[in-house]
Structure 1
């Protein structure tokens, strides 16, 4: 059977919605949901107060509080996170835009992982083992390692999809 434009389109649909690509889509939308949800929470007082100790102890971003104040810093991060979530969610429609979201997510998690080394209370007091980390902020921040890995994967997968779409 000769390959026609219709059969090529059908093959692309099948390839796009196989189990691995469906999993990729689920992971992408899960990360987008996290960014959107956390981004909108940054506009609440309790979330601004909750992230304040993480930000203020960081030599990378601690200066934000002096520049924007605690609520302003939270709102700025909220806008950044909402934009990141929206860009990630564009992946099925525009992989190039999603790759920008992947880069923004990667930057976000690279910064938050540094909080493991700058925030007081990460290592559980009373233990001689530095691997004994507290539930908050230690374990709360440790989960960002996997989110960083997912962000990097989305960045490169979306870039690859965008380059394939060009051809």
Structure 2
């Protein structure tokens, strides 16, 4: 008796679905948190030390910037999720996520305290560990972008 359901193709299909769903859920959920005061506090050191975001903090204020980021994350997550219904919209959401995660990875270079000092070879602090996971989310965004582009071309 062969187990036909356990094949590389089936696992790949399930994996792509999990990536898309998890990426969309992460973006919507984390975007929603940007409306909470504690999350405004959590992102303060990241945005304050970023050349681009510090200008936006000066212009909009911390709370408004956090809400703008939140709305953007919710929109991107929602667009990524609608790929089966509207692949072109999902292209926009995935492209936005690629840009966003590339941007948040830049915080590794601009945020104080990302690297632990006096520990020999470079070691990430808790803040650095929090940021470096965005490399995985960047990869997931690239996967969903490629899938959405392929689906849009088929229509």
Superposition TM-score, scaled by structure 1 size = 0.84
1:153 aligns with 2:143: yes
**CA deviation after TM superposition for structure 1 residue 18, in Å:** 4.8
Superposition TM-score, scaled by structure 2 size = 0.90
Q: Which runs of 5+ in 2 are unaligned?
A: 1-8
Other structure's SS at 2:50 match: coil
State which structure, 1 or 2, has the greater radius of gyration over its C-alpha atoms: 1
What RMSD in Å do the two structures reach over aligned CA positions?
1.4
**CA deviation after TM superposition for structure 1 residue 50, in Å:** 0.4
1:42 aligns with 2:34: yes
The CA deviation string for residues 78-121 of structure 1, in whole angstroms up to 9 with x for no partner, is 00000011101101111111111100110110110000000000
Partner Cα separation in structure 1 for residue 93 and residue 13 of structure 2: 18
Runs of 4+ off more than 2 Å:
17-23
**Structure with the larger RCO, 1 or 2 (CA within 8 Å, 6+ apart):** 2
What's 2:72 paired with?
80
Other structure's SS at 1:77 match: helix
What's 1:97 paired with?
89
Partner Cα separation in structure 1 for residue 35 and residue 14 of structure 2: 32
1:164 aligns with 2:131: no
Pairs aligned (count): 147
Residue 124 (structure 2) aligned to one of 107, 112, 133: 133
What's 1:61 paired with?
53
Partner Cα separation in structure 2 for residue 60 and residue 156 of structure 1: 28
